[in-house]
Amino acid sequence: MKYVRLIAMFICGFVLIANILAGSKHEFSVRDFGAKGDGITLDTKAIQKAVDKCAVAGGTVVFSSGKYLTGSIELKSNVDVYISAGATILGSTNIKDYFEREPELKSYNDAFLKHSLFYGEKLKNISIRGEGVIDGQGSFFKVTTKVKPDRYKNRPFIIRFIECENVRVESLTLQNSAMWMQQYLACTDLFITGIKVINHANQNNDMMDIDGCKNVIISDCIGDTDDDGIVLKSTSPRITENVVINNCVISSHCNAIKMGTESTGGFKNVAISNIVIKPSRIEKVIFGQPQGISGITLANVDGGNLDGVTISNIVMDGPMVPIFMRLGNRARKHTENAPIPSVGSFRNVNINNVVATNIKNIGASISGIPEHYVVDVQLSNIKIEYAGGIKKGNYNLEVEELSENYPESTMWGNLPSYGFYIRHAQGIKLNNITLSYRETDERPAILLDDVKNIKLSFIEAEVSAEANCMVKIRNSHNIFIENSSAIGTADYFLSIDDSLSESIFLKGNDLRSFKMPFMQKVDGQVKEADNVSQSIK
């Protein structure tokens, strides 16, 4: 029995020691490596020691309750960072505490985005999570010039990961970056869930930028930012593809959901759903507009292809523009030595189930450029309430092409139609669309300019006598309008502004609100249109 007890004691002792060793192997408290967590002492070296040790053994770097002042931390593969409730990581306000990194993968950002709080390149299995806070203290970094790219320099990110695999950012509060809050460049298998972002500390205060990444899930996030909210980019030849974004609440002084400010590699297979877009709780604006610039912006202007985007179940309150789709030709090179990109493509976009209220007066738009069309876009089950009140003379009758301009939904000012302006597009379908305004607007609801093969079904639009018509057409072909009606009265249901438009078909529309179904203007003279086929049934 004596030997049995000794063996049992030995086994228990061994298990206890093993558990202790296992615990020390897998959890690395930054305080054990010398971090003070007092918000005054610079803890960078202690934190980096904990990360380096964890990278060797594998495990979790733990920030317990406290305030940890730090400069740049270089993450390593197989390191999990856990920021406990009550713990705050404070970014240093001294740019000298941040190292400079220019990644191996070349992108448009290399000229100016060199500093970040958490940095990782070509890593695997990394995460930053917890109930704590990362605060970049970004308001301390001043923008001293308007000249590009200098105005972007010396302002660190909170998170920047490049060419990393299996990345997780979970449950944290991220606030007050000096630049974008977080950029993920050419990462694979990226999961961002349950985070809260508050970013009103400086210029360029995006919520997050997903850039040339593959296999991305963003869910259950809340963001309130001075600049753009959830942004998909492609600043290198890497394509942004296989992206799911759902169950988020976004407030932005700029664009809540945005794709394509840079589009070198393009975009493919993106699904966005269950998003609430609401006004920011921060009234002071550094850049943008208090109510936000756009709810949904999809743009492709630097080459690349935008193909396969589905957006559904969106509620938005307040932005100036609800929906902006743009194929342009800014043709910006992603590096100095790269070839000038050719015009890209924009196709296969489906947006459905959208309710937008308190929208300002510019109007929604779908636009390509001459000889390069937006193709195969479907919009369905959409209700938009505009402010209205725009009178003749307060909007642009002719809209400049501006093919080489930055793609912003406000680029043309008030459009010549209050609801949808569609130009240089083909294969467009609008179904079950309701358009209204709070004050009388003197513009038609929809204007089609150089549009081919469009179908408008079940359109209900408010219209005023001053607007002259509900739908206006220029230089367009194969137009089919069915089962549509107006709220209000006007002279014409359909106005054709030239002699070039042809193959126009009307079926089953309620024309009782109009003096005449349609008219055509040729050489300044109004006549009854002879190129319209109409069926009552």
pLDDT category at 22 given cuts 50, 70, 90 is: very low
**Coil, strand, or helix at residue 367?**
strand
Query: Does 496 reside within a domain?
Result: yes
Q: Which two tokens stand for residue 457?
A: 């079904």
Q: Which residues contact 430 (CB under 8 A, 6 or more apart)?
A: 378, 379, 380, 382, 420, 446, 454, 455, 456, 457, 459
DSSP 343: P
pLDDT at 417 over 80: yes
Instruction: For 206-215, write each residue's pLDDT tens digit.
Output: 999 999 999 9
The predicted-structure confidence for 29-69, as pLDDT tens digits, reads as follows 999 999 999 999 999 999 999 999 999 999 999 999 999 99
In a domain, 480, yes or no: yes
What confidence tier does 7 reach under pLDDT thresholds 50, 70, 90?
very low
Q: Which amino acid is at 387?
A: A
- Enter the tokens of residue 116: 């970040």
Is 50 strand, coil or helix? helix
pLDDT band at 258 (very low <50, low <70, confident <90, very high): very high
Asked if 153 and 115 touch (Cβ cutoff 8 Å), the reply is no
Confidence at 111, pLDDT banded by 50, 70, 90:
confident
pLDDT in tens, 458-494: 999 999 999 999 999 999 999 999 999 999 999 999 9
- Residue 397, pLDDT above cutoff 80: yes
Output the pLDDT for position 3.
Answer: 46
User: Does 475 reside within a domain?
Assistant: yes
pLDDT at 11 over 60: no
In a domain, 476, yes or no: yes
Mean pLDDT of the chain: 93
Q: Taking CA 324 as the corner, what is the angle to CA 427 and CA 200, rounded to the nearest 5 degrees?
A: 155
- pLDDT for the residue 405: 97
- Domain containing 516 equals 466-537
Beta bridge partners of 51: none
For 205-250, what is each residue's pLDDT tens digit? 999 999 999 999 999 999 999 999 999 999 999 999 999 999 999 9
The answer to whether residue 347 sits within a structural domain is no
pLDDT for the residue numbered 323 = 98
pLDDT score at 499:
82
pLDDT of residue 510: 96
pLDDT at residue 23, as a whole number? 42
The per-residue pLDDT for 536 is: 44
Distance, CA of 161 to chain centre: 19
Asked if residue 506 belongs to a domain, the reply is yes
- pLDDT (0 to 100) of residue 528: 62
**Where do we find the tokens 């009550």?**
86
508 found inside a domain: yes
CB 86 within 8 A of CB 67: no
pTM for the structure as a whole: 0.93
- pLDDT for 14 equals 43
Q: Residue 15 — very low, low, confident or very high, per pLDDT cuts 50/70/90? A: very low
Does 190 have pLDDT greater than 90? yes
Kind plus residue range of the DSSP H or E element containing 188 = strand 188-193
- Is residue 535 in a domain? yes
| Max avg pLDDT among 17-21, 67-71, 149-153 | 67-71
- Spatial neighbors of 37 by CB under 8 A, at least 6 apart, are 30, 31, 43, 63, 64, 65, 66, 67, 68, 87
- Note the pLDDT of residue 524: 63
pLDDT at 107 over 50: yes
pLDDT of 148 reads 86
Query: Using one digit for the tens of pLDDT, what is the confidence trace for 342-379?
Result: 999 999 999 999 999 999 999 999 999 999 999 999 99
Which pLDDT does position 16 carry in this prediction?
Answer: 36
Q: Residue range 116-135: average pLDDT?
A: 98
Encode pLDDT of 466-475 as tens digits.
999 999 999 9
Total domains in the fold of the chain: 1
Q: What is the mean pLDDT of residues 279-302?
A: 97
pLDDT at 535: 58
> Which candidate, 324, 309, 532, places its Cα nearest to that of 412?
324
CA–CA gap between residue 495 and residue 518 (Å, rounded): 6
Q: Which residues contact 260 (CB under 8 A, 6 or more apart)?
A: 232, 233, 234, 267, 297, 298, 299, 300, 301, 306, 326, 407
**pLDDT for the residue 464:** 96
Q: For position 347, what pLDDT does the model report?
A: 98
Strands 485-487 and 477-482: unpaired
